[in-house]
Amino acid sequence: MNNTAPPRWEHFDHDADIGIRGIAPTMSEAFEQAALALIAVITDPDAIKPSRSLSITCSAADPDILFFDWINELIFQMTTQDLLFGRFEVAINKELLTATAFGESVDREKHQPAVEIKGATFTELRVYQNTDAMWVAQCIVDV
């Protein structure tokens, strides 16, 4: 058992698109990390100043669907508010996710955004605990 390892995120390959994955001791942190992986598809999350914040809530009985909704809600908010997020605070209480996302307006010179993301998909969509008892939240996003 090694669930004290630091939270982290990674990408995984898909032929046309890209996989996002968060790995952390708790499900909430895994969702935060996967959100960073989502941002990293677009730009460097470290280059985003957390000057604005936005509250997000979603609810779903199935953790997979909750994750799907969380990622899609972030995509929706970034698109409509013209924002990029660089930091997340997520709390999951049973079926309810409440979160704050911190970020700033898109600056095309500074952020050099590589691509827009159309949506989260069901492909490779999984929220589970691995053999190290770490939570993993992942899916492919369509770009």
Partner 1 sequence: MDTGQLIQRDETCWEIPQKGAMRVPAVIYADFSLIRDMDQKVCEQITNVATLPGIVDAAYAMPDAHWGYGFPIGGVAAFDPEQGGVISAGGVGFDISCGVRTLHTGLTIKDILEQKHRLADELYRTIPAGLGSRGKISLNHHEMIAMLNGGAQWAVDQGFGEAEDLERTEEQGRMKGADPSEVSAKARERQHDEMGTLGSGNHYLEVQRVTEIYDRTIAERFGLAIDDIVITIHCGSRGLGHQIGTEFLKDMAVSASQYKIALPDRELACAPINSPLGTRYLGAMRAGINCALANRQILTHLTRQAVASIFPGARLGLLYDVSHNTCKVERHKVNGQMKELFIHRKGATRAYGPGHPDLPAAFKDVGQPVLIGGSMGTCSYVLCGAKDNEYRAYSSSCHGAGRAMSRHQATKQWRGRELVDELARQGILIRSPSLRGIAEEAPLAYKDVSAVVDAADRAGLSRKVARLEPVICIKG
Q: Is 97 in the site for partner 1 (CB under 8 A)?
A: no
Q: Give kind and range of the element (H or E) at residue 108.
A: helix 108-111
Q: Is 11 in the site for partner 1 (CB under 8 A)?
A: yes
Per-residue CA distances from 101 to 16, 47, 64, 129 (Å) = 28, 15, 20, 24
Q: Is 40 in the site for partner 1 (CB under 8 A)?
A: no
Per-residue CA distances from 100 to 53, 110, 113, 133, 140 (Å) = 6, 23, 22, 26, 23
* Binders in 51-90 for partner 1, by CB under 8 A: 65, 68-69, 72, 76, 79-80, 82
The CB-of-4 to partner 1 minimum distance in angstroms stands at: 29
d(CA 77, CA 17): 21
Q: Is 33 in the site for partner 1 (CB under 8 A)?
A: no
Q: Is 7 in the site for partner 1 (CB under 8 A)?
A: no
Cβ atoms of 123 and 67 within 8 Å: the answer is: no
Q: Is 128 in the site for partner 1 (CB under 8 A)?
A: no
Q: Which residues bind partner 1 (CB under 8 A)?
A: 11, 13-18, 42, 65, 68-69, 72, 76, 79-80, 82, 106, 108, 112-116, 118-123, 125, 140, 142-143
